[in-house]
Structure 1
Amino acid sequence: MVASKGLAISLFSGAGGLDLGAERAGYTVVAAVERDKDAAATMEKNFHGLASPVIREDILHVTSRAIKSAAKLGRGRPDLLIGGPPCTPFSKSGFWLDWKRAGLDPDASLLQAYTRVLAETRPRAFVLENVYALTYNNRASRPAYERLLREIDEAGYTFSSKVLNAADYGVPQARPRLFVIGVPKGKKLPLHPDATHGGNWERRTTGNSGRPHVTAGEALKDLVTESEPEEVVRGQYAHLLPGIPPGDNYLHYTAERGHPDPVFRWRSRYWSFLLKLSPDKPSPTIQAQPGPNIGPFHWENRRLRVPEMKALFTFPSEFDFVGSRASIQAQLGNSVPPLLAEKVIEAVADQVS
């Protein structure tokens, strides 16, 4: 089956957030590379345009020829290359590790795997997604980011990069991500989509002020879910969660907030520690592997259920994830919200058609 806008190859596919956005934007994902077995199974269960089974190998050992063969492209070229190389070396949560700050994480080379496939498959357009911390001016991020952009240029592409907050595009989750989009040199430079929604985020106003962010309360309204054993909050400080107002975190239990029996020092923990959703705001970023006291938790003082997380990421209810509860949380936490992916890829497609 050939979609109206062509065929896409997906790298670092995960559960398929970017892929779902690509298909909604008019492409057919015909080949995917994903080494996690559960995520690969999720891809195969939900994407029926794949010309071959998902390539379940480390991309460092997968040739571009093998990827094109899986896509059944012959001597042709893909219309779109998408992918989000794992963000471990550059995520904010990893900067406390000296060896990551020094840029010694071997996963950093996965960015080069993407640019290698870009140069060798010559797609008509590409979309690369990553954590926005990749743009930080520090020892780990800056050299890696500059090298990435240099290699994209050397591959023969004109490109633009921008950090987009998912909430500014109708996703009920404040999730900033870096998007690098590009086309072959000689073509008009593609632009990122304009924000459709707006509101307060990290002490400033972002997006389109004419249309407010979609809130967690709106996203979860009328959603019928069943309780899950994993939703019970455990850990040393779990008993404190019911006392925290919606939208607040552990800082509620500090002297600076006027608590009569403070438990924590001011700013002594990560912001997500005992963080609770507010029904009146988009969800904070949902992590792939949260610790026992790391939120966001539901305002009903429990962990989010799988259907609720799917809604907060804009995965459709019928999208079927494979794996344990922990695996599904990881697949979701590592994914690009499909609605955001759709808007980015649709903008690129409209400019290259």
Structure 2
Amino acid sequence: MESDPRLPVISLFSGAGGLDLAVERVADPPLLRPDEASRGPFRVAIATDYEPQALDTLALNLPGASTLPGDIRETPTSELLSVGGLSQGDAALVVGGPPCTPFSKSGFWLAEKRESRDPNASLLEEYVRVVAQARPEAFVLENVQALTYKTHEAHFRQLLQALAELGYNPQWKTLLAADFGVPQLRKRVFIVGRRDGKAFRFPEPTHAGPSETTRTWDMSKLPHVTAAQAFDGLATSAEAGELVEGKYGELAAEVPGGQNYLWHTPRYGGRDAFEWRSRYWTFLLRLAPDKPSSTLQAQPGPYVGPFHWENVRNSDGDLRARRLRVPELLRLMTFPDNFRLMGTRADIQRQLGNAVPLELGKAVLHALSIQLGYVDAETEADDQLVRLSNDSVLIS
């Protein structure tokens, strides 16, 4: 069998494979969802995660990737390399989004050897350990924006220092997914470093628009992709348990698109059912068709949105809000329509809610591909200019 000429990638904390999909689809044109990925420079050689079901989803969609379920704290780097058919220095990239747990007091970078591993060691530390021992050409680390908050400042600085001491010159930036064509106002921090020590330059946003913290924006850029645009042409069918029933079912159905429980306070036009700012923002939240979605939740409660802006009738003929259907969730994550997921509806929601939106991951990895010399920047720029000027392509 002919060997795959693409460069191998190690994926940590892979989940359902959002960042992995971006690795293998980095050559796809922006905001297109082809059933088959365009031939790009990278392939996922080995993916690992604590959750076997998420890896089953990944394997369905990236059958060429080897998977290794298990706790990363108990998985030696040598095992990752062996399962992936790699040696130290072979991997072009290490990618992944480790959950942000507290740093251990005795970090991997503070001593060359430890007689025993700290069972409470940070998963961020484990990411550093694999980078240190696998020596990839570059790494991409994705995490929640809260990692950069003042409450985590010491941990964040420690992480950056550890990666810098390995010679990777880490650069970081918080990116808004909607600024890269994702119909979702999701913020994530990315840390990128290169083994040669050259500073990574983050991609410039292609889109702009209002958000929670933005009231003015660059009007020369394309407008944010809206939920209605994302759903355009999508045929869906009813899913079991999609209706919002129970204690707040009637109230949820009365909330207009783009509003939440605050509609049912004295300041708005609904019922006087709640105190002002007495609930989380996502409580009874409905999508606004003319705006991007709010961040998709991984484990929403029964009355946590965003729900669709349209109501449907239940068996009694009463109007009810409905939850987003799986094909709609895929569109809001900019995943291909033929992406398949394992598990129950709750499992699927968790996997997608924890994933990296495809177009956001692609934007970062595409910029890295250019800067590492694996993609022709001039050709790509010309092609992308044509694509981004074609609105029909952007929302098809």
What TM-score comes out, normalization by structure 1 length?
A: 0.90
2:337 to 314, 317, 329: 317
Given that 2:178 and 2:208 are in contact with CA atoms closer than 8 Å, whether structure 1 keeps it comes out as: yes
Equivalence map 1:1-353=2 (5 Å)? 1-4=3-6, 6-25=7-26, 26=40, 27-50=42-65, 52=66, 54-87=67-100, 109-138=122-151, 141-184=152-195, 186-205=196-215, 208-209=218-219, 210-257=221-268, 259=270, 261-300=271-310, 301-353=321-373
Aligned length: 331
User: Partners of 1:148 and 1:307 in 2: how far apart?
Assistant: 37
Go from structure 1 to structure 2 and tell me whether the alpha carbon gap of 1:142 and 1:187 turns closer, same or farther (over 3 Å shift). Answer: closer
Given that 1:8 and 1:78 are in contact with CA atoms closer than 8 Å, whether structure 2 keeps it comes out as: yes
Deviation of 1:211 (Å): 0.7
**1:207-262: CA deviations, max 9, x gaps?**
65321000000011121111011211134222211211100101111112365x41
User: Partners of 1:205 and 1:254 in 2: how far apart?
Assistant: 25
Given that 2:102 and 2:122 are in contact with CA atoms closer than 8 Å, whether structure 1 keeps it comes out as: no
Q: Which residue of 2 aligns with 1:99?
A: none
Question: SS at the partner of 2:150?
Answer: coil
User: Partners of 2:356 and 2:163 in 1: how far apart?
Assistant: 21
Given that 2:299 and 2:350 are in contact with CA atoms closer than 8 Å, whether structure 1 keeps it comes out as: yes
> How large is the RMSD of aligned CA atoms in angstroms?
1.8
User: Partners of 2:57 and 2:94 in 1: how far apart?
Assistant: 20
Report the identity percentage: 48
Question: SS at the partner of 2:142?
Answer: strand
Given that 1:196 and 1:207 are in contact with CA atoms closer than 8 Å, whether structure 2 keeps it comes out as: no
Runs of 4+ in 1 over 4 A off after TM superposition: 87-90, 205-208
User: Partners of 1:41 and 1:124 in 2: how far apart?
Assistant: 28
Question: SS at the partner of 2:292?
Answer: coil
Given that 2:143 and 2:189 are in contact with CA atoms closer than 8 Å, whether structure 1 keeps it comes out as: yes
User: Partners of 2:10 and 2:54 in 1: how far apart?
Assistant: 16
Paired letter, 2:68: I
Pair member with larger Rg: 2
Given that 1:14 and 1:40 are in contact with CA atoms closer than 8 Å, whether structure 2 keeps it comes out as: yes
User: Partners of 1:107 and 1:213 in 2: how far apart?
Assistant: 41
What TM-score comes out, normalization by structure 2 length?
A: 0.80
Question: SS at the partner of 1:179?
Answer: strand
Uncovered stretches (5+) of structure 2, i.e. residues with no partner: 27-39, 104-118, 311-320, 374-396
